[in-house]
Amino acid sequence: MTSYESLRHFADSYALIATVALFLLLCLWPFRPGAGKRNEEAANSIFEGNDDGE
């Protein structure tokens, strides 16, 4: 088995599993317990400093 075949096998199996696991972790991260306050601050941060009456 050549090194290309070894890397290809790794990418097709374990790297795919790791990528899917990372994707799911990042998708669920905002919904963890205790994240509500930070999420609300992030959502309202675009309105800070906008006191020009518009």
pLDDT reading at 35 higher than 70: yes
What's the CA gap between 40 and 52, in Å, rounded? 22
pLDDT reading at 52 higher than 70: no
Domain boundaries, the chain: 3-47
pLDDT reading at 54 higher than 80: no
What's the CA gap between 7 and 14, in Å, rounded? 10
Q: What is the pLDDT of residues 4-19, one digit of tens each?
A: 998 898 888 888 899 9
DSSP string, the chain: --HHHHHHHHHHTHHHHHHHHHHHHHHHGGGSTT-HHHHHHHHHGGGTT--S--
Is the Cβ–Cβ distance between 39 and 30 less than 8 Å? yes
pTM over 0.85: no
